[in-house]
Each structure stands twice: as structure tokens, then as C-alpha cells.
Structure 1
């Protein structure tokens, strides 16, 4: 009896030790995550401070230009007032001369008895009148030129204000997901709605099609997730390829472009060699050149504004390139021996919708990304996942990955996972 009690006690203590070990591990992971988040936030703050400093400097320079132009406008306005006052003064003189001329007509009648003196007075009056009229003509010409110059200055001032506004807008929106273009029908919030509809509608239809091939539920779910991941990889690689090609064409470069630095960030649950296999065998894409979730870093020889123009051009033409992108994916997948790709061709509507949404995600600045996929047995994060058919404290398997505004960013759309309650 005592031995049985001691045995149960030992088992209980062992179980507590195991739970304590797990708790310490989870504590360590949380601390590491908090540390990473702190470093990321600090880096974000530093970048924001740098952007604010650059913006303030730009604003100061533009304010100096605007102040100089305003002073020029005031100067021209003062000249105009002086010219108009001078013109009024001359008009008064002309009126006085005209009145005097009428009086001189009477003098002319008298001058017939004293001819020479009267004729001299008339000639001097005519001479003064012609001189003043000539000066008036010159003043009118000068006034028209000044008015034209004033209009040009005002137009230049307005253009400067417009350019400043656009420059500040570009500075604020470049690689800044917190400022959305409300005129963009494919902005991140709209993509999140389509992403949710993809799961609610097309995912269900694709599930039924694949399950008809006598495949189990979890197997079909895994296939559909892999289709989404592979489409995302394909779209990200093509988005990078497009930017590099644009830069190469504009630079008339015959050599491969090396200014774009690619960094590896793999999806959770897919090993690097599997990604390499998918890219090389199925898509004919070099793993070393195009890797998932890669980001383009700005080289020193090209200004940030240049990359902004390229990214804007890519985004503006994203709808036009969709059909060709779909054809490339289908063409590269035909004849493939990869099970995921063969399944993708069987569920064409689901795959097409995945391509369209993932492409618009890839051309955002910064790109919208798929969130991390929780491991089996990990704590169920209700902020990141909704329950599939069973809720619980831990994750059994992931059905649909969450969507993030950008890498390590806030959640745009929750994923779906199957839960279970771990027994104590």
C-alpha cells in the first residue's frame, strides 16, 4: 500500500517536473519573443525618428523656398502699385495738357495779332502731350510684363506647394503600412476581406473536390495549406523578379542586377530543402535568387525615390499582369510530379483565387504576409486563430494560416486551427 502511494507520488512529482520544464521553456520563448519585439520596436522608432528628421529638413528647405517666393511676389506687387500710381499721375498730366490745349486755341486767335509767340506755345504743348503718351505706352508694356511675371511666380509657387505635398506624401507612404491609400481597392484591409472569403467559399469547394479522391480530412487540409504557401512563394518571387527587371531595363544593364539583397525568411512548417525542391522542380525558379518572403534592400547607388517609383509602377500594373501570372503558374506546374502542384491543378478556381490575392499581397509596400503556423501541441492563441470544429487550450493542427499586415506586424485576418484540451 505504501509502495503504491510512493509510486504515485513519484509519478506526480515527475509530472510536475515535466510541466515545470515546459513552463520554463515557454517562459524562455516568451522572453526571447519579447526581446525580439522590443528590438523590432526600437528599430522602428529609430527609423521613424530618422524619417521625421529627413521630413523636417525637407520642410525647412521648402519653407525657405516658399518664403523667398512670397518675398518676390510682395516685391512685384509693390512695383505694380508704383507703376499704377505713376500711370494715374501721367493720366492727370494728360488731362491737364488737354485742358490747356483747349485754352491755347483761344491764344491762337489772339496770336494772329502776335503770331510768333502763340505758335511756340502750341508746339510745346503738343510736344509734352506726345512725350507723356509715349511714357504711358512704355508703362503699360512694363505693367503687362510685370503682371505676366507675377502670374508665373504664383504658378511656380503653387507647383512648389504641390510638389512639396506629394513629396511629403511619398515619404509618409513609402514602406509605411500604417497609412493606407483609401482609393486603392486592393489595399490590405480589402485583401483581408478577400482572404477570409477565400477560406469561407473557395476553400470549402476545393476541400470537397480533393476529398472525393478518398483522401483523409487532415491530408486534404495540409494539401490546401501547401497550395496557398506555394502560390505565395511563386508570387513573391515574381514580384521581386519584376522589380529587378524594371531596374535592369531602365539602366540598360546587360549584367545581372546585384543591388537587390535578398534575405531568407521561411514559412513555418516548410523546411528550406522542400522550398528549394518546389521552386527548382515545379516552377523552374532558382532557390538562390528567389526565396520566400524576400525583401528588397535599397542599394547605395540608387535613391529611395527610385525604388518608390518602381514599386508604384509594379503595383499600378498588378491587375494587368494577373492573367499572365496565372498562365505561368499553370504552365510551370503541368507535368509536375509534386503532389501539391498536381492537386493545385485539380482545384483550379481555388488556385486562381489564391494567385490573385497573393499577388496583390506581394506588391504591397511593405508586402502583406502569411502569419506563422503554430506547431502541434502549442498553446492555442485565440488572438491569432479561430477554432475549426473543436476548441481547446492547445493546437491539434492548423487549417488556415493567419494574415499579417506585414512581417511581424498586426493581424489582418485570423487563421483557423483545430484545438484540443491537454489532459493534466
Structure 2
């Protein structure tokens, strides 16, 4: 019997002896009247209960319905999260940092900001090699690769810091440990995140007597990553990083321009060009969004002398079989994953091999 129809069939009748309201469940509707013969329910078709019991039944039914609704919502959220993890194209369409959207932004970056930056460099150098300007192509590609590595390192450090902070908040790590770590120790912890089990076992074969104090100092703090609560810490750290991605991208862009860009572009006039700065800012922001994905989106660049992989790269300027220079790296969904956006290569001139 359906629950809503059951409630609909609860009818108020009057007890002729006590003049108190009672309720009956049945197939027929009994009119409310003072006539005992009309109000007397048929025991074969009705169940008579007291008002207090009826209210208790209503309350329990409402509780059960709420539990069912909550469980349905949780199941729906879990299924949605699983789809987003397994099939990135099924990600929340409102997420502007989803991988498919990053592929579109990456392609647009090459069409717009890269072209403007190329013209900025070209106006300050002599035009040669039929307008292809391989030196400028190398500078722009080298900028992107350095920016990506910068964002990758910054992203790993941020992830570890947020996880450590959450572990401190719930008492799994001492606050003193977080601030006592030297930059070299933090970078070592970042690098160890990407090691395989074999690499870790090889490093663990070192003489433990060499650094006993250091091992004791950090073993307790790192153990929380082996606990059952770590997946929850990891998930909430990832959610926070995505929620703060816009702000983080802006701050990392400012940091890169101040600390790294002067070494990559020594010429202050070129470095101050608004077209070059816009290209750098857009590269940092986009690379940051790539690196906070789980798993991270990656870019790949071929080396000089390799055969052109037409599945990953298109030709720029001329055709050929051997890579002379990578103009624009290819974008992959993850390490060894499917291609999201093809890159461009400048091949060697054919007459060089004749």
C-alpha cells in the first residue's frame, strides 16, 4: 500500500462512548457524525488508532521519508563525483576550470596572447629566416615550459601545506613541525610524493644511523597520510584549492613576474611590454589551473631531432619530418593521457638532408 494513499485514507471518526477523536485506515470514507451506527468502523476494512498514536505514526513516517531523501541525495552526489573523476567531460559544466574548458583556453592563448607577444619581440629584433624567427619561437616556448614547471612546484607545495594545516587542525600533526621544516625539507617531501614504491624502498635502504634525529622528527607528522582520514583531508584540500584557484593564480603570476621573469627576459624594455606581460600572466594563470587538476593536466614538448608525431603536433611555417624546434607544446588530459589540444613544431628544412 502506498504511504501517501495510506495517509489519505486516515479518516477522523467519533467514539460514541468517550466523545474523543480517533482515526481509522480503510478503503471507504466515513463521514464525521454523531450517529454511533454511522461512525462505527468496519473492523475488516479499518484500523482505529488514538490521536496520539496517529501523530507518532506521522512523525516516524516523516523521519523515514527524510532519511530516504538524504540517502538519495548522497548517492546522487557520489555518482556525480565518480563520473567527474572517471570521465572529465562529464564534469560540472559550471566549473570554469574543468579540463575541457582548459583545452579551449589553451588553444585561445596561442591564437591571441602568443601572437601578440610574438609581434612584440619581432618589433625589437631583426626579421630573418623568411619571417619565421626561430629565436623568438624558442623564447616564447621556453617561457611557457618554465612557467609550467614553476606552477607545478608551487602547486605541490601548496597542496602539502594545506594538507598539513588540516592535519594540525584535527590534531594529527604538531604545529611546530610545519614551521620548523626548512625549504629543502619541504621540497624533498614534495618530490617524494611522486616517487614509486621501488624508489621509496631504495631510499629507505640508507643507513638509519646517519640521520636518526631527523627521521624521528618527521615520522610522526607524515604518518597521517597513511591514516584512514587522509582521503578526506586530500579531498577537502583539493576542493579548497579549486575554490581559491582564481586568487592563487593571480598571486602566483605576480610572484613569477617578480622573481623569475627577469632571468628569462633580461631586456627590461621587452619585459615591460604590455603584450609580453599579458602573455606571461595568461600562461601562469592557465598553467596553475592545469596543475591543480586531479590528476594534473600536462604539456609535452618534443626534442630537437625527433620525428614529428602528427598525432600530437601540427606544422608551423613549413613541412618536414624532423623536429627543429617546438613552437607550442601539446596538451594532454593527464600523464600519457588523451590529447586535449595539439601543439605546433617547426620542422627542419628538407634540403638539409639532401
Q: TM-score, normalised by structure 1?
A: 0.57
My pick for the range that moved more, 157-166 or 88-97, is 88-97
Shift of 1:193: 1.7
Q: How does 1:272-421 map to 2 (within 5 A)?
A: 299-301=225-227, 302-333=229-260, 336-339=262-265, 346=273, 347-371=276-300, 373-419=301-347, 420-421=349-350
The alignment yields a C-alpha RMSD, in angstroms, of 3.8
Q: Is the 8 A contact 2:141 2:328 kept in 1?
A: yes
Q: Any unmatched runs of 5+ in structure 1?
A: 1-69, 100-135, 266-297
2:95 aligns with 184
Q: How does 1:6-405 map to 2 (within 5 A)?
A: 84-85=24-25, 95-96=35-36, 139-174=50-85, 177=88, 179-214=90-125, 217-252=133-168, 253=173, 254=175, 255-256=177-178, 261-263=192-194, 299-301=225-227, 302-333=229-260, 336-339=262-265, 346=273, 347-371=276-300, 373-405=301-333
Q: Highest CA radius of gyration, 1 or 2?
A: 1
User: What secondary structure sits across from 1:352 in the alignment?
Assistant: helix
**Distance between the aligned counterparts of 1:206 and 1:369, measured in 2?**
23
Q: Alpha-carbon deviations, 1:42-74, whole Å to 9, x = none?
A: xxxxxxxxxxxxxxxxxxxxxxxxxxxx99x79
**Distance between the aligned counterparts of 2:89 and 2:103, measured in 1?**
15
**Distance between the aligned counterparts of 2:88 and 2:192, measured in 1?**
21
Distance change in 2, residues 1:98/1:171 (3 Å): closer
Distance change in 2, residues 1:377/1:385 (3 Å): same
Distance change in 2, residues 1:309/1:92 (3 Å): same
My pick for the range that moved more, 345-354 or 400-409, is 345-354
2:215 aligns with none
Q: Is the 8 A contact 1:232 1:358 kept in 2?
A: yes
Shift of 1:312: 1.8
Q: Alpha-carbon deviations, 1:98-130, whole Å to 9, x = none?
A: 99xxxxxxxxxxxxxxxxxxxxxxxxxxxxxxx
Q: Is the 8 A contact 1:227 1:340 kept in 2?
A: no
Aligned length: 281
Q: Is the 8 A contact 2:117 2:279 kept in 1?
A: yes
